[in-house]
Structure 1
Amino acid sequence: MQKNTVCLWFDTDAEAAARFYARTFPDSAVGHVQHAPGDFPGGAQGQVLVVHFTVCGMACIGLNGGPNFPQTEAFSFQIATEDQQETDRLWHAIVDNGGQESDCGWCKDRWGVNWQITPRTLTEAMAAGGPEAKRAFDAMMTMQKIDVAAIDAARRG
């Protein structure tokens, strides 16, 4: 068992979310599903309580804890993409499955978990600093899903 694991609170759909993530993201899988040994706030004995899964190699736990603590933008997964095709595929997998678009490469899945679908070219531009970073940043600020060609053009000036 890993020493540190991300725990995501879900109302009742941790297993469905984990299975979606496993189908959508590389190096992702659903592991052990634990059922509640007794009744708990928001659920009953025998219902799915905890789902162990990985997202892009990161260990996670989904906890079906009820509606008390919904997801917020204070937590997000940032997924690095190599090109526009991968960016589009992941973005649309999330948004077209009951999710919601946001700004600057962010979107939210149907369970309220926030995702940053971030092409490497944007990350590289920001790391370069100076005028290149400013041009890429200004371009990004006008986007929802990141347009790789527009970021590359901004980088070149």
Structure 2
Amino acid sequence: MQRIIPNLWFDHEAVQAAEFYAGIFGGKVLSTYGEGPTNPDGEKQPVTAEWEILGMRFVGINGGLNADGSSVFVPNESFSLEIDFDDQAELERVWHALIADKGEPSECGWLKDRFGYSWQLVPTVLMECLQGPDPAGAARAMQAMLSTSKVPLDGAKIRAAYAGTP
């Protein structure tokens, strides 16, 4: 049983987010509940949507907007979702899917999806190199990660940096 269930706040797009994430990760929307705020077309949306991806449950809460039409809550980098990948092609597929339709690439392999949530997609080789026995290699691997801008992290480049090969 999963005891910690992340709850993500949306203006009125919790169901769309659940479908978006489930589609990318091969998960499923589990349920929706209640009658919450309206979308821009004036249609009532559920209060919550629950979904599962990568064996983990999430809940999206439709919180509506402030009286002035601004978002009640805006996601920021103080909360991010990290996923480790053994397969570079899968990391890149997920990275590009998450930035599609108004997502934003960022530094160090991070990105924001179209809902404003930050993701860290990490090749497993990164931690292997950062925790490896060669401190100079670990520093080079860290620099390779830190110098990555607006593209996915590349496990082969990180491994090459650790080894000191171009």
- Shorter-chain TM range is 0.7 to 0.9
1:97 and 1:45 map into 2 onto residues whose CA distance is 22
- Map 1:8-87 to 2 at 5 A: 8-26=8-26, 28-36=27-35, 42-43=37-38, 46-66=44-64, 67-87=71-91
Please give the per-residue CA displacement for 1:48-88, whole angstroms capped at 9, x wherever unaligned: 11011123222210000022011111111101111321121
Quick check: 1:35–1:45 contact (8 Å CA) kept in 2? no
Quick check: 1:135–1:155 contact (8 Å CA) kept in 2? yes
2:112 and 2:7 map into 1 onto residues whose CA distance is 17
User: Are 2:117 and 1:113 aligned?
Assistant: yes
Letter in 1 for 2:154: D
Query: Among 135, 144, 155, which residue is 2:140 paired with?
Result: 135
Moved runs in structure 1, 4+ residues, more than 6 A?
none
Q: Which deviates further from its counterpart, 143-152 or 101-110?
A: 143-152
Q: Which runs of 5+ in 2 are unaligned?
A: 65-70
User: Following TM superposition, by how much is the alpha carbon of 1:5 offset from its aligned partner in structure 2, in angstroms?
Assistant: 1.1
In the alignment of these two chains, the number of paired residues is: 152
Please give the per-residue CA displacement for 1:89-114, whole angstroms capped at 9, x wherever unaligned: 01110112320000001000000011
Q: Secondary structure at the match of 1:15?
A: helix
- Identical-pair percentage: 38
Q: Which runs of 5+ in 1 are unaligned?
A: none
